């Protein structure tokens, strides 16, 4: 077994990198894939917070400071997902050497099918290592111009590092007419859109419950989008039950059908 290392990056902050890492990780683990997610946003870590692991004593900070082993900073979460959270202290950040991630990955790749790295926003020095060590890079973008422009900057940085962006995930898709379409985003970024995740309060509610939305609301449109993406990364068919749930018609849909007709 040799893991594929996916780095989840963006450019602009707040596009949904951590949300995507947690949900894709949980969905891959749910498919029976040995999966580890790691918070490489060493200055502004919050992956642990989304899974109720924020009180963990040993984190990636200590591993990057050479005062702990990666095994001691690895915790088990939903679906058997393994998680390496990062600390939030300024001191921890100052003492951490991001370059050490190279060695850490060497020791981990034999143990997992998938390793997902949650990268920091922007094009800081800490962000370069996760981009350099990735086998595959996924950009999380929102359908607005500033998110797309910043994602383009990250794509250029990736190319300067002699790596390539595999594709993008369009997150927080709504119904606003001002939004960029999937096709337009593909055209601007010149990478395929591998998945589209709607903007939905389910995501924020799940975060407040410290659970991935794929576990808390597995039949919700956002959960289905993440599970669909996980299945395609794993080269598997979408599990039957998920597709069935997606087909369930909501109240508004039923009403619209009654008013306007149709099958
Ligand atoms: N599809 C979605 N629908 C609704 N809210 C979302 C969605 N995706 C993410 N969010 C919310 O947007 C906010 C930012 O998400 P997240 O922390 O995952 O982004 P990020 O890219 O990791 O941010 P940062 O750059 O600060 O690390 C959070 O409040 C999250 O709950
Ligand atoms: Mg984040």
- How many whole angstroms from 49 Cα to the centroid of ligand 2? 10
* 140-177 tens-digit pLDDT: 999 999 999 999 999 999 999 999 999 999 999 997 88
Question: What pLDDT, on a 0 to 100 scale, did the predictor assign at position 155?
Answer: 96
Question: What pLDDT, on a 0 to 100 scale, did the predictor assign at position 247?
Answer: 46
CA distance 26 to 37: 9
Where is 9: in which H helix or E strand?
A: strand 4-9
Question: What pLDDT, on a 0 to 100 scale, did the predictor assign at position 249?
Answer: 55
Half-sphere exposure of 104 (CA within 13 A, CB side): 33
Question: What pLDDT, on a 0 to 100 scale, did the predictor assign at position 238?
Answer: 73
Mean pLDDT by 10 residues, the chain (263 residues): 96 96 98 98 94 95 97 97 96 95 95 98 89 97 95 96 97 88 95 96 96 97 97 84 53 53 50
CA distance 12 to 150: 5
- How many whole angstroms from 207 Cα to the centroid of ligand 2? 12
Structure tokens at 227: 């599970």
Q: Report all structural domains of the chain as residue ranges with CATH numbers, in order of start.
A: 4-260 (3.40.50.300)
CA distance 161 to 172: 29
Q: 221-233 and 240-247 are packed helices; what angle lies between their axes, rounded to 10 degrees?
A: 150
Question: What pLDDT, on a 0 to 100 scale, did the predictor assign at position 124?
Answer: 83
- How many whole angstroms from 14 Cα to the centroid of ligand 1? 5
Structure tokens at 108: 């981990």
Atom of ligand 1 nearest to the CA of 41: 27
CA distance 67 to 61: 9
Residue 30: Cβ within 10 Å count? 22
Ligand number nearest CA of 47 is 2
Q: Is the CB–ligand 1 distance for residue 17 below 6 Å? A: yes
- How many whole angstroms from 14 Cα to the centroid of ligand 2? 7
Question: What pLDDT, on a 0 to 100 scale, did the predictor assign at position 263?
Answer: 47
CA distance 158 to 118: 15
Where is 30: in which H helix or E strand?
A: helix 17-30
Ligand 1 pocket test target in 10, 12, 15, 16 with most atoms within 8 Å of CB: 16
Q: Is the CB–ligand 1 distance for residue 154 below 6 Å? A: no
Ligand 1 pocket test target in 14, 127, 217 with most atoms within 8 Å of CB: 14
- The DSSP letter of residue 122 is T
Question: What pLDDT, on a 0 to 100 scale, did the predictor assign at position 240?
Answer: 60
Question: What pLDDT, on a 0 to 100 scale, did the predictor assign at position 196?
Answer: 96
Question: What pLDDT, on a 0 to 100 scale, did the predictor assign at position 239?
Answer: 61
Q: Is the CB–ligand 1 distance for residue 8 below 6 Å? A: no
Question: What pLDDT, on a 0 to 100 scale, did the predictor assign at position 260?
Answer: 52
- How many whole angstroms from 30 Cα to the centroid of ligand 1? 22
């Amino acid at each position: 077994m040799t893991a594929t290392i996916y780095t989840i990056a963006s450019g602009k902050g707040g596009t949904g990198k951590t949300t995507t890492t947690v949900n894709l990780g949980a969905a891959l683990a749910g498919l029976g894939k040995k999966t580890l997610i790691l918070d490489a946003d060493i200055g502004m870590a919050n992956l642990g917070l989304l899974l109720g692991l924020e009180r963990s004593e040993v984190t990636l900070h200590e591993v990057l400071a050479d005062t702990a082993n990666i095994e001691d900073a690895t915790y088990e979460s939903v679906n058997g997902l393994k998680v390496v959270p990062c600390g939030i202290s300024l001191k921890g950040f100052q003492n951490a050497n991001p370059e050490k991630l190279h060695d850490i990955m060497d020791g981990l790749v034999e143990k997992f099918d998938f390793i997902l790295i949650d990268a920091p926003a922007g094009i800081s020095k800490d962000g370069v290592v996760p981009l350099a060590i990735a086998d595959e890079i996924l950009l999380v973008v929102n359908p607005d111009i500033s998110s797309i422009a910043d994602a383009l900057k990250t794509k250029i940085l990736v190319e300067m590092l002699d790596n390539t962006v595999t594709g993008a995930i369009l997150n927080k898709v709504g119904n606003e007419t001002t939004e960029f379409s999937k096709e337009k985003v593909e055209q601007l970024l010149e990478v395929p859109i591998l998945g589209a995740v709607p903007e939905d309060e389910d995501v924020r509610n799940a975060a407040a419950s410290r659970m991935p939305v794929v576990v808390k609301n597995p039949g919700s449109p956002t959960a289905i989008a993440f599970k669909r993406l996980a299945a395609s990364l794993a080269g598997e068919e979408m599990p039957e039950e998920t597709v069935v749930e997606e087909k369930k018609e909501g109240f508004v849909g039923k009403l619209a059908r009654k008013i306007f007709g149709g099958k």
